Amino acid sequence: MYVETIVNFLSTQGVDFGLKLLGALAAWIVGRWIISLVLRGFNAAVARGKKIDATLAKYLTSILNVVLNLVLVLAILDIFGVRTTSFAALLAGAGLAIGLAWGGLLTHFAAGVFMQVLRPFKVGDFVQAGGITGTVHEVGLFGTTIVTPDNVLTIVGNNKVFSESIQNYSTLPYRRVDCTAKVANSVDANDAIARLKESVAKIPNVMATPAPDIEILSFTPEGPLLCVRPYTHTDHYWQVYFDTHKAVVSTFGAAGYPVPETPLAPRNR
């Protein structure tokens, strides 16, 4: 019976259905090509104008891509005789059902919209957001893509990013590098501080203003613990961090300072 139904359909409407299928396929190919041209043109216009930064541009490109593909799908359905008005109503109902089922995704989308309005960070900023620290690669419709310092691409939901604390290390012109150095009790702490101030100031990319902070941070049984805190731009943070430790080792070595030793605990008699 099914074979007879199929044969009857092909004999009566097969040619018409085949033409519609070819038309739909052609519409899909041409439509996707046109959409790619529109998106490239939009990105080129944004790049030339330089009035919209990369974060907002990628966000608008994602929205435009979704809208254009939806229009293309409606146009293809129209080729098959599906009334787009009925489909739009069906889509609205489905959207409501999906919205109730996927409320979490909608919260991520809403958070993404608020992030575009409030602009806590942009593409290229070094941030800590949603518990992840790294460079912002993209702010998408539902998630923010961050590249961590160990070169791992991490996607964090926009709602998690927006609902937690955000630290943007790139907003201000400089940041402080926190290091410590311990000297033995027999060493003159003021002499160590003076030597470190001179050597740390010579490290490349260390700012002269504000000057590095080198002071006694605390006292330990082995000797005074010094804080060594130069200032630099975020782009040079790790270079200055490691060079500061090298400067501490070379400075104390050149001065002939003894290595701090832990005092021996008294023996019970």
Lookup: tokens for 46: 């944004």
User: Mean pLDDT for each 10-residue chunk of the chain (269 residues)?
Assistant: 56 64 81 85 74 66 79 75 59 57 66 80 91 90 90 92 90 93 93 95 95 94 94 93 96 92 63
Distance between CA 181 and CA 184 in Å, rounded?
A: 10
Burial 172-204 (b: 16+ CB within 10 A, else e): eeebebebebbbeeebebeebbebbbebbeebe
Domains and CATH numbers, the chain: 2-101 (1.10.287.1260), 121-168 (2.30.30.60), 175-255 (3.30.70.100)
pLDDT for 99 equals 55
pLDDT in tens, 109-164: 777 778 877 888 988 899 999 999 999 998 887 889 999 999 999 999 888 888 88
31 near 83, Cβ under 8 Å? no
Q: How far apart are CA 45 and CA 37, in angstroms?
A: 12
Question: Which sign, positive or negative, has the C-alpha torsion 203, 208, 213, 215?
Answer: positive
Q: Give the start-end residues of each E strand in 110-248.
A: 126-129, 132-139, 143-147, 153-157, 166-168, 175-176, 179-182, 213-220, 223-229, 231-232
pLDDT of residue 24: 78
Q: What is the per-residue pLDDT for 25? A: 83
> Alpha-carbon Rg of the chain, whole angstroms?
32
Whether this prediction's pTM lies above 0.85 is answered by no
pLDDT of residue 94: 58
Please tell me the predicted confidence (pLDDT) of residue 60: 73
CB within 8 Å of 108: residues ≥ 6 apart: 141, 142, 143, 157, 158, 159
Q: For residues 166, 144, 36 and 43, what is the CA-based torsion angle, rounded to 10 degrees?
A: 20
Q: How many CB atoms lie within 10 A of CB 9?
A: 11
What pLDDT sits at residue 142? 82
